[in-house]
Amino acid sequence: MASHDHRDHRATRETETAFHGPDEVARVVADGEIALDLVEQVLDEVLALDRGPVRSVVDIGSGPGVATIQLARLLPDAVVLALDSSSSMTAAVHDRARAAGVADRVDTRTAEVPDGLEGLTEVDLVWASMSLHHVADEVAALRAVRGTLSPHGVVAIVEFGDQRRLLTPGNDALADRVESAYEHFFADQQRHWHGDTPSGELTDMVRAAGMTVVNDRFVSVTHKPPLDDAQRRYVTGALVRARRQLAEYLPPVDLDELERLAHDPTRADGPVVVSRRVVLAVSTPDRA
């Protein structure tokens, strides 16, 4: 680093959320920690490509640094740059790095993509987890990512996989209605995400940016009951968020039930399955 679902890959960008403040940091930490085991799975696939040592990493859309710090732990010879548009998130990265004892190898940059990539070269791994769908022009961002890569660099894009089902056992009918409501919610949101810049299928956009897809598959992690306190808080937060996001898409009786489940201290939780689509790509050689 020279400078110090099978659903569509796109998912909701909540227009009312600016990713700032302690509540947002706590929410994104919970989202990251529930999927933390996937970081090692994906990194193992990157290293299995055997393209060379990974000494420089850029984590695009790092949030509060859950994956950033895990990458620093798993890659002890690497310097990791966390890039995020929220100063709340990059400040949290610093705190997390100090607590983990890796602050000497973790830096941050508060900026949007692609502008925030300016000046970065010789990057061995670009990690873009749950971030690309927030970018207005995804192909332009991916072209900028390609420009940062070392000759053996790899891009790891991690996006939403299968729809999560978080409801308690015995609520299958409600779970089906929630899933259907989310499909309508996503469709409505997509009309606002990218403005006049069309979004496309993920691998098509990667290729349009001058890169070659070397792996494209779904990975998942399952947390089985009994859930620990952190996992239970994650489910509670997801139910509260669903109640808010789907207010216009579900009848009052379903919204009331989501509210009740979210705040029921005796709630019996089912398994929590976190699914992600992982696309690994490398720079396509320029033709002479």
Residue 15 within a domain = no
Residue 124 within a domain = yes
Enumerate the β-bridge partners of residue 274: 221
Residue 2 within a domain = no
Residue 62 within a domain = yes
Which CATH number fits the domain that encloses residue 75? 3.40.50.150
Residue 59 within a domain = yes
Dist. CA 218–CA 18, nearest whole Å: 29
Q: Extract the tokens encoding 151.
A: 């000759």
Residue 129 within a domain = yes
Render each residue's pLDDT in the chain as its tens digit; 288 residues.
443 333 344 433 333 345 678 889 999 999 999 999 999 999 999 999 999 999 999 999 999 999 999 999 999 999 999 999 999 999 999 999 999 999 999 999 999 999 999 999 999 999 999 999 888 889 999 999 999 999 999 999 999 887 666 666 778 889 889 989 988 887 777 666 555 566 779 999 999 999 999 999 999 999 999 999 999 999 999 999 999 999 999 999 999 999 999 999 999 888 898 999 999 999 998 764
Residue 137 within a domain = yes
Dist. CA 223–CA 180, nearest whole Å: 24
Whole-number Cα distances in Å, 53 to 48, 79, 103, 147, 283: 11, 12, 21, 19, 16
Domain residue limits at 122: 22-164+200-225+268-283
Residue 115: CB atoms within 10 A of its CB come to 10
* CA pseudo-torsion sign 151, 152, 153, 156: positive
pTM of the model: 0.88
Residue 180 within a domain = no
Q: Extract the tokens encoding 245.
A: 């996001």
Q: How many domains are contained in the chain?
A: 1
Length of the chain, in residues: 288
